[in-house]
Structure 1
Amino acid sequence: MNLSRLILSLLCGALALSAAEASKKTAKYQPQPWGPWVEADFPFFSSILDARRDGLGKNNLTPRGLIIKLPNDCWACFDTDLLRVSAVWRGKGVSDKALAPGSYLDPSRKTLGGQFPAPQPEGKLWLGHAIIPGWQLGAKVDQVDPRSPAPSPAEVGRGPIPTSLGRFQSVELVGKDVVLTYRVADATIRELWKTSEHEGQVVIERHLSLSAHAKDLLLVVGARHQGPSQELETGVTVSGPAELAPDDDFFAVKVPANAAAAALCVALCDEHPAPSIAAVAIPTGPTTRRWKSSVTTKVALSSSKDTYVIDHVALPVDNPWKRAVRTGDIQFLKDGTAVVVTLDGDVWLARGLKEGSTKVTWRRFASGLHEPMTCAIRDEQIFVFDRNGIWRLLDTNGDGEADVHELFSNAFAQTADMREFPSTIRLAPKGEFVIGKGGQEATTIGKHNGSILRISADGQTSTLLGHGFRQPNLSVNPRTGLVVASDQQGQYVPSTPLHIVKDDQFYGFLSDKLPKEQYPAPIADPLTWIPHAVNASALSQVWLFDAKMGPLNDEMVQICFNKPDLLRVLWNHRGSRPQASVVSIASDFATPPLNGSVNPADGQLYIAGFQIAGWGNTLTTLTGIERVRHTGAPLLIPREIVPTDRGVLLRFEVPLDPAKATDPDNYSFATWHYKRAYTYGSAQYKADGKTGNDWLTASSAVLSLDGKSVFVGVPGLKPVEQLRIGWALSSADGKEMRQN
């Protein structure tokens, strides 16, 4: 293959990409046929809540909120970090300024970076709060946030309060109600919300059940009106072994130590005195099945004869609840049951994904989660990572639905920044989890934005493995624990890197709020870069252990999002440090891919994904699940690539045609460098600093005795940031082998 032909092929690829992107930009998406994002018959959902209104608490922003849906158009937001009710209001609910609700009916609606605009209460605010714990020790309200500050002192998303003060435990579905359980000091508290009417006025009731406790507790109900507001104050009363505490700034309830369990009720009434209402017993026990119907879909098998083909798994979009199914991840139980998480807070179970089957049965398993994009399985239990933390979803009565959402871990911070995505969670060998968090910040600098953390096996602690990521997506080798992550090209990220993550190293991305290009530490070198023209957006990786994927068994593959692709990652351990090369395996995806895993029932790779239209994908399809299936045909790409100072070793899976393999003109080599800067991405630079590529010419090509390896001599090959190799070969039995 001569040089002019190589250049032509690269230009053709660029033109094809430009045409696809142009088509994408002109595509128009019709309003989606779904029901409301907030379902009428489900008692809670999760959201950021911006209740910063004059006179009702200071800086009242809730990054991690459980929104409790009550009768009479009443709502309450529980902050799982500070154990406070940050807002109570009556009206329509919450404005759709977050990613999931905003794009639910309009798939092209993106969120801006930063914390503004954020979802707000829609209606009359009855109570607000300050950024302080909702439960405290002692008799007076302490208006100091006990959590360590973020790098930006004004940032309120600091994570949970110290464990000695309390910790949120679970959300339990009981009948039509939702019960919250948490610990305050030595007391376990269960909480239920109701509404009633009294003398023509709506009353909101907060029922509390406390275990025996040895310490005096103080419940900070909410902030009193301050400043020039002329609104009348919300009426607050309490019944049970407690009393209102005198305080000019807050409604507070003193709960004395008690050797026995106690029950309280805090009643609220807008602009009227609240009646005293007796506490009710907090219900226990699992709920009955909520989503009684199943949905059946089909698997469309590919007719391709390639080594790896892509089958399409139809989603349960035609469902009785008119619920969108925007898939973020797919993981598997041991029996092959698929666990599928969606951006809109749902989890579905899919059965029937196995060899030879073309029918899949779907059931809804959980809802109410906070924009989750990823999940993991440990000991046959389902863990979902969302903006509120890591949830363990429990089906306590075996009816096939989660009735308890246990907050397994929130031992890390979360801001209200719209792009601090919960990108990935993966299980590590010792029962720990590793998570990745989005790093783009436009309002403040948070504690853990753009970081990868290890979560202890009990969920109580987190450890930084790496920081300085823009938008990381990761994998964990389930045998060795090695953590690998990609990042998204953009400011400070010249092209898509593939990193080993360890030792809390710095990986190069800086917040917009920091001085430009002033790096706090040396920047870790990647295993490799993936050029923008090859793929502008790589996502997660999958280790193909216990797979039936032929030559790819036990290897790591890289999922690419922008131009949907699956790359073989070829490790090189022959040098002073690990390096890698990537080569395309399959690219005939019809849906945008994000995350995936191997199904133990058939040993094949399944990949789920969705897109917000206009955010970096060349397809017009919005979501889907696809299976990458091994057909048994020979694999015609390299299994190893080793650059040296004298040339490059290429090892293939099959014997090569000797005549083509030993012709140096059938190989091409281009090298270049990148420049890391505040500007978006990077051009490609020659060794002399000018833009462009340095082209190298092969001088020789020597074939191994088994015919599967060839060493190509390349004079002048020196250390570079990027080496691109092209070849035009054939297998010994005449099959074309051509890649760049």
Structure 2
Amino acid sequence: MFIFLKHCRKYLGAISIGLTIFLTGYTDKRIISSNSADSLVLNPFVEPGFPFIPGSLDARQLGAGFPDDNMAARILSVPVGDSAYIAFDTDLLRMSVAWTGKYLPMVLMAQISYKDFFNKNNKVPTVTGNPKVATGSYPGWSTDKPVYQNIRTRSAEEPNWDAMPAEKGRWKGVYAYGDKAILNYTVGTTEVFEMPGGIRFGDQIAFTRSFRFGSSERELYLTAAEVTNATASEVKGRIAYLYHGVNKDSVTAIAILGKGGFALQPEIAENRFVTVKVPATAKGAEAGIAIWKGPAKEKKTFEKLCRKVRISFPDFQKGGSAYWNETVVTKGKLSPDTAAFVTDQLTLPLPNPWKRNVRVADIAFHNDGRAIAVTFEGDVWTVEGIDKNLQNIRWKRFASGLHEPMSIDIVKDTIYVFGREGIVRLHDMNKDGSADFYENFSNVMSQSAESREWAADMVLGPDGCFYIAKGGSQSNGPGVSKQVAKGFREGSRHNGTVMKISKDGLSYEIIATGLRGPYLGMNPKTGMLTASDQQGNFVPSTPIYLIKKGDYFGVPATEHRKDNPAITPALTWLPHRVDRSSISQAWATSDKMGPLNDNLIHFSFARPGLFRVLIDSSAAISQGGVSYIRANYPAPTSKGTINPVDGQMYISGFNLWGSSSKGISALMRLRYTGKPSYMPNQFRAGEQGIMLSFDSELDANSVLDASHFQVKRWDYKRTQEYGSGHFKLDGSTGEETLNVVASYLSADRKKVLLLVQDMKEVMQVEVAYQIQAKDGKQVNDQFYFTINNLSALDPASFGFASVDLALLKAKQPEAAASTEKEEMASAEKGKELFQKMACFGCHSEGTQVKGMYGPPFQNLYKSVRHFEDGTSAIADEKYIRESILSPGVKIIKGYNEEMPSFVGILNDNEIESITLYIKSLKK
């Protein structure tokens, strides 16, 4: 299928693939240079020949005779023959369902947006083919006796999302060997390898499960099928039958394969469960079973077939042939050195021989500068040739079949990926450049099938442990669990948390709870752990947090505690118009990043771009602030890391959840050019005012004019509504402008002291300044910070002399009555506000809906608006005003509650201007 032209143009421009792309590995060594916008073709998400796809599955409504408690958050779906498939639940080590006909619909978030880049209307897949065999939500394996009920801790009414206890059974991973998936797990202390398969006979298919057992001191039991409407059963030697239908004309059968060998024994329990007893063995053994559902008249044919089948495992542990031999070579695009920091673009491998989409979620580096990139599609690529000029970047696929991963890391040259299946450790057994074993390093974190409970972030601490962040189970998803608060589903018991995973991956600690959509940053030297969160219900604006064990951050639905904890204050808040959707942080642990060396960098998905984070640790409670790093960001910025060879920061990101950038994906290098930087590099907020230190020397005349500085402050209110308006300290709506009575320049000409009256603790402060650097550069910028604790400032300690603190006691001048007539409301002013308030990131001024969180504005005025609650209204002036001030009252059908209130931010005149602008868009 061709991608629509209008989207291709944006995509190709964003990832800079207008350059010639060389594809090597073909016999003719041909060069592909056809990169016009309408030539990019993507194959389907499912790739023929690869043996499994991960995902979630809702199999609760398979029909009569099947269990109705069959839901799995972590499955591998495996093709086993001609239009035949099995779904293996890696949490419960069970075959959830086997079916024929259509494959699972590709409706998970990564799948549905694979070609339709901004489509967030994902679902949990259901079986649309013909189900044959299924089991319920209980362990597929047990020791000593069968288990037919859920052994995991949870009430019977709600799904349980934990993996089964490791001592009872543990998923170890999957081998990819040609078109075969070999599953690996333990039952008790016994290691098991399983190779699913299928055998067709006539118009029937039998599903086979071939096993290689390690030594075992105890009997093992496999629950292979559950039939809820059986009318009779029988066991005949090595075959067991469950009959259904009025005349017993249908049958579900299980047979031990072959004529002799290891003595597996089929059993029927409660005229419902089909089980297999596996005897204890000191040496280990191989055996297999076949499961079939069909007409009873075909019994003899099935029995004959099963006697002939032999178990034969390939030599899979040595690795198979590589799935992807070609290398894609791209040329990067260097930015001219126009500022202290610029972004070079590493062109993505598009097109590629597999016609595979490439949305880069994260990147990591080996010590020699080779990189590994992971995509939201679930692929891992090796990237070589990253040098100064970026003219020979070599991309090669290394792995696939990962479940919506967003994080990758390298520890001792071993690759770790965090996706919804857990932390996967990748092994190339035969060193041919392709992963053979996808090892389960850790699945101790609970994972639900709610789409927003994504595997958000993973960082490595200096203690050798991984720290992970899990998204909260927000309501704007498929809704497979009950609603527990406005904007939230129940999800798993670990949703909205930060967790520490032990070095062996087998245990965890909860570090922090009460988060909506956290992403992480880790200082690899000091172990300082930071996080962002997503503005929304119970999160009034974008925060950055310092994370310590035991912290709670204010979202009741993800509190997961009973001790009524106090809410930990944010390090700093960022206004909606500055960063309405944040993501991870990274430390510039380098001596080659100039002024940013050893600084914390915050990533904005929505703006997009990077912020420099400053921390004032002199206060009793740490407080921080941010300034924007101005550069070209062609796509959302999500994750970043330092290349140990060149010392620069490499940035990955892809689009999906609403960004002002419409680029689909990019891989960039934030490069320090050596030119002057004019950003703040230190701040203090105290009783007497604000101190800002800058990277460059400043012009005294511009700094000493206090009118060049404007200081505003406001609070947010944390409620169940989406985001927050702005409020004065007395609780009334609006922002307060503070009186800057004087400004001073330090002896080193790099620090500014603002004497500010009425300094108080507050959630948000904005300092805007229009000054000059010593070299004549005009510096017009803003710095945003939070005051958690006020202490006295000592001007002399920062190099300020002759500071007249008595000015702070002078009576504040009364606001002069305005002699100027207020500017009349206008559509032109409304358009300016549309840009200033970042409305354009969610609403199109035309008719575009792709990539937009909110409905388009063209033809909105006087149209009929249909709401999620079934009501409707005319979009008149009253409706527009209500939508701006109370956006959660009426939610347009097909959209989610994702707009904050502009109470205290926009005045009546501005709201009228926006209304006039919307009126002007009527065509």
Q: TM-score, normalised by structure 2?
A: 0.74
Q: Are 2:508 and 1:459 equivalent residues in the alignment?
A: no
The CA RMSD over aligned residues, in Å, is 2.2
Q: Are 2:346 and 1:313 equivalent residues in the alignment?
A: yes
User: 3-state SS of the aligned residue for 2:440?
Assistant: strand
Q: Are 2:657 and 1:639 equivalent residues in the alignment?
A: no
The CA deviation string for residues 107-163 of structure 1, in whole angstroms up to 9 with x for no partner, is 222136xxxx41112311111111111001223x322222222xx754434321112
- Report if aligned partners of 1:58, 1:131 keep a CA contact under 8 Å in 2: no
How far residue 435 of structure 1 moved from its aligned partner, in angstroms, is 0.5
Distance 1:205 1:69 in 2: 12
Which residue does 2:906 correspond to in 1?
Answer: none
Match of 2:716 among 656, 674, 680: 674
More deviation in 251-260 or 351-360? 351-360
The CA deviation string for residues 567-624 of structure 1, in whole angstroms up to 9 with x for no partner, is 0000101110211100011242011111111111211111111112xx2201221111
Match of 1:148 among 148, 153, 156: 153
The CA deviation string for residues 618-661 of structure 1, in whole angstroms up to 9 with x for no partner, is 12211111111110011101111111111101111221101111
- Residue identity matched to 1:188: E
Which residue does 2:536 correspond to in 1?
Answer: 490
* Residues 337/61 of structure 1: CA separation in 2 closer, same or farther (3 Å cut): same
Which residue does 2:278 correspond to in 1?
Answer: 255
Which residue does 1:390 correspond to in 2?
Answer: 423
- Residue identity matched to 2:229: Q
- Report if aligned partners of 2:650, 2:670 keep a CA contact under 8 Å in 1: yes
Q: Are 2:183 and 1:180 equivalent residues in the alignment?
A: yes
* Residues 65/636 of structure 1: CA separation in 2 closer, same or farther (3 Å cut): same
- Report if aligned partners of 2:100, 2:131 keep a CA contact under 8 Å in 1: yes
Which residue does 1:64 correspond to in 2?
Answer: 74
Distance 2:546 2:272 in 1: 51
- Residue identity matched to 2:615: W
* Residues 153/236 of structure 1: CA separation in 2 closer, same or farther (3 Å cut): closer
Which residue does 2:172 correspond to in 1?
Answer: 169
- Residue identity matched to 2:762: V
Match of 1:50 among 50, 58, 67: 58
The CA deviation string for residues 207-228 of structure 1, in whole angstroms up to 9 with x for no partner, is 0110110001100112124389
User: 3-state SS of the aligned residue for 2:103?
Assistant: strand
The CA deviation string for residues 23-69 of structure 1, in whole angstroms up to 9 with x for no partner, is x9xxxx99972111010110101010111123312310110001112
User: 3-state SS of the aligned residue for 2:111?
Assistant: helix
Q: Are 2:347 and 1:337 equivalent residues in the alignment?
A: no
Match of 1:279 among 311, 319, 323: 311
Which residue does 2:779 correspond to in 1?
Answer: 737
Which residue does 2:597 correspond to in 1?
Answer: 553
How far residue 235 of structure 1 moved from its aligned partner, in angstroms, is 2.5
How far residue 488 of structure 1 moved from its aligned partner, in angstroms, is 0.3
Distance 1:433 1:326 in 2: 24
More deviation in 443-452 or 574-583? 443-452
- Report if aligned partners of 1:381, 1:393 keep a CA contact under 8 Å in 2: yes
Q: Are 2:93 and 1:83 equivalent residues in the alignment?
A: yes
- Report if aligned partners of 2:447, 2:494 keep a CA contact under 8 Å in 1: yes
- Report if aligned partners of 2:535, 2:541 keep a CA contact under 8 Å in 1: yes
Distance 2:642 2:157 in 1: 43
- Report if aligned partners of 2:45, 2:106 keep a CA contact under 8 Å in 1: no
How far residue 552 of structure 1 moved from its aligned partner, in angstroms, is 0.5
Matches within 5 A, 1:490-529: 490-511=536-557, 520-529=564-573
* Residues 509/645 of structure 1: CA separation in 2 closer, same or farther (3 Å cut): same
How far residue 246 of structure 1 moved from its aligned partner, in angstroms, is 2.2
* Residues 701/148 of structure 1: CA separation in 2 closer, same or farther (3 Å cut): same
- Residue identity matched to 1:266: I
Which residue does 2:628 correspond to in 1?
Answer: 584
Distance 2:559 2:533 in 1: 20
Match of 2:411 among 370, 378, 398: 378
User: Number of aligned pairs?
Assistant: 703
- Report if aligned partners of 1:170, 1:181 keep a CA contact under 8 Å in 2: yes
The CA deviation string for residues 301-343 of structure 1, in whole angstroms up to 9 with x for no partner, is 1124111001111111211101000111111111111111111
Distance 1:154 1:599 in 2: 49
Q: Are 2:516 and 1:470 equivalent residues in the alignment?
A: yes
Which residue does 1:201 correspond to in 2?
Answer: 204
Runs of 5+ consecutive residues of structure 2 not aligned to the other structure: 1-9, 15-36, 232-243, 476-480, 483-489, 783-923
* Percent of paired sites with the same residue: 34
Q: Are 2:114 and 1:104 equivalent residues in the alignment?
A: yes
- Report if aligned partners of 1:441, 1:512 keep a CA contact under 8 Å in 2: no
- Residue identity matched to 2:278: V
How far residue 420 of structure 1 moved from its aligned partner, in angstroms, is 0.5
Distance 1:255 1:556 in 2: 56
How far residue 199 of structure 1 moved from its aligned partner, in angstroms, is 4.8
Which residue does 1:9 correspond to in 2?
Answer: none
Q: Are 2:254 and 1:236 equivalent residues in the alignment?
A: yes
- Report if aligned partners of 1:375, 1:383 keep a CA contact under 8 Å in 2: yes
Q: Are 2:649 and 1:605 equivalent residues in the alignment?
A: yes
User: 3-state SS of the aligned residue for 2:762?
Assistant: coil
User: 3-state SS of the aligned residue for 1:568?
Assistant: strand
Distance 2:157 2:743 in 1: 62
- Report if aligned partners of 1:564, 1:587 keep a CA contact under 8 Å in 2: no
Match of 1:212 among 212, 215, 219: 215
- Residue identity matched to 1:484: T
More deviation in 50-59 or 245-254? 50-59
Which residue does 1:3 correspond to in 2?
Answer: none
* Residues 307/170 of structure 1: CA separation in 2 closer, same or farther (3 Å cut): same
User: 3-state SS of the aligned residue for 1:246?
Assistant: strand
- Residue identity matched to 1:119: P
How far residue 734 of structure 1 moved from its aligned partner, in angstroms, is 0.9
How far residue 197 of structure 1 moved from its aligned partner, in angstroms, is 2.8
Distance 2:228 2:82 in 1: 24
Which residue does 1:413 correspond to in 2?
Answer: 446
Distance 2:144 2:598 in 1: 57
Which residue does 1:270 correspond to in 2?
Answer: 293
Q: Are 2:484 and 1:438 equivalent residues in the alignment?
A: no
- Residue identity matched to 1:211: G
Distance 2:529 2:172 in 1: 29
- Residue identity matched to 2:42: W
Which residue does 2:134 correspond to in 1?
Answer: 128
- Residue identity matched to 1:489: Q
How far residue 513 of structure 1 moved from its aligned partner, in angstroms, is 12
Give the number of the structure whose alpha-carbon radius of gyration is greater: 2
Which residue does 2:888 correspond to in 1?
Answer: none
- Residue identity matched to 2:49: D
- Report if aligned partners of 2:472, 2:558 keep a CA contact under 8 Å in 1: no
Q: Are 2:460 and 1:427 equivalent residues in the alignment?
A: yes
- Report if aligned partners of 2:514, 2:558 keep a CA contact under 8 Å in 1: no
More deviation in 202-211 or 234-243? 234-243
The CA deviation string for residues 496-530 of structure 1, in whole angstroms up to 9 with x for no partner, is 01111122321112339999xx9942111000001
The CA deviation string for residues 384-432 of structure 1, in whole angstroms up to 9 with x for no partner, is 0011100001112111111111000001100010111111011111210
Which residue does 2:892 correspond to in 1?
Answer: none
Which residue does 1:222 correspond to in 2?
Answer: 225
- Report if aligned partners of 1:32, 1:105 keep a CA contact under 8 Å in 2: no
Distance 1:610 1:31 in 2: 21
More deviation in 447-456 or 651-660? 651-660
User: 3-state SS of the aligned residue for 2:556?
Assistant: coil
Distance 1:173 1:251 in 2: 29
- Report if aligned partners of 1:696, 1:714 keep a CA contact under 8 Å in 2: yes
- Report if aligned partners of 1:327, 1:610 keep a CA contact under 8 Å in 2: yes
- Report if aligned partners of 2:341, 2:631 keep a CA contact under 8 Å in 1: no
- Report if aligned partners of 2:230, 2:272 keep a CA contact under 8 Å in 1: no
Q: Are 2:548 and 1:538 equivalent residues in the alignment?
A: no
Runs of 5+ consecutive residues of structure 1 not aligned to the other structure: 1-19
